[in-house]
Structure 1
């Protein structure tokens, strides 16, 4: 019998995040149907963050990537790319977590919290963190 996980990414990416990364995220989130040119199919096997319209999570799966205002500095408005994704994954898919973490890690706007995952019946999540272009240790 398979285990099921709730996987959540919630973080801001820098406004200067390269288009190649944003295009890859859009594809993973199901916001674009075409696999981006240059995205390695061996590493990015399928769009892992695409919401399942029949998902089993309360409220359903969610996928969002949008440029958002983040305040003002030096007389100009600051922006960042807000990412929010909540999906229901099988245990066989959990190795894909590293693919998304690698994609995000060097583009995070502020170090720290980036989301979590938890087995569907667990009360305690495993927190995902980002710092210095990498992500925190995972206990799968």
Structure 2
């Protein structure tokens, strides 16, 4: 008798999207300055969301700085709540990467990048470290 295939399970990855220093939900899949209704303002702060994720043990999420001012302060607030458990994205470059790691962002894993590349092919991955 053949064994059953392994069961797949979904893993919730917590996300804090920041725009103009506030937590916002992207509606419709894209962020566009020409259609401001694509963003829904969330009343809780980035730190509030980080506390919710911490209380529920939800690690491995990300904080994304989408645009506008005030995102750095909001992102650092969230990182301070539960250091080392979330990745940071948006405007991270060679000049400020250490600052973000020191602020509590999760570490870069070369091993995970290499493992992913071995499965999907390095030509299909984008690690964008440009300063533009």
Q: Same fold (TM over 0.5)?
A: no
Greater RCO, CA 8 A, separation 6+ = 1
Structure 1 or 2: more helix by fraction: 2
Q: TM-score, normalised by structure 1?
A: 0.29
More strand as a share of residues: 1
Structure (1 or 2) with the larger CA radius of gyration: 2
TM-score by length of 2: 0.31
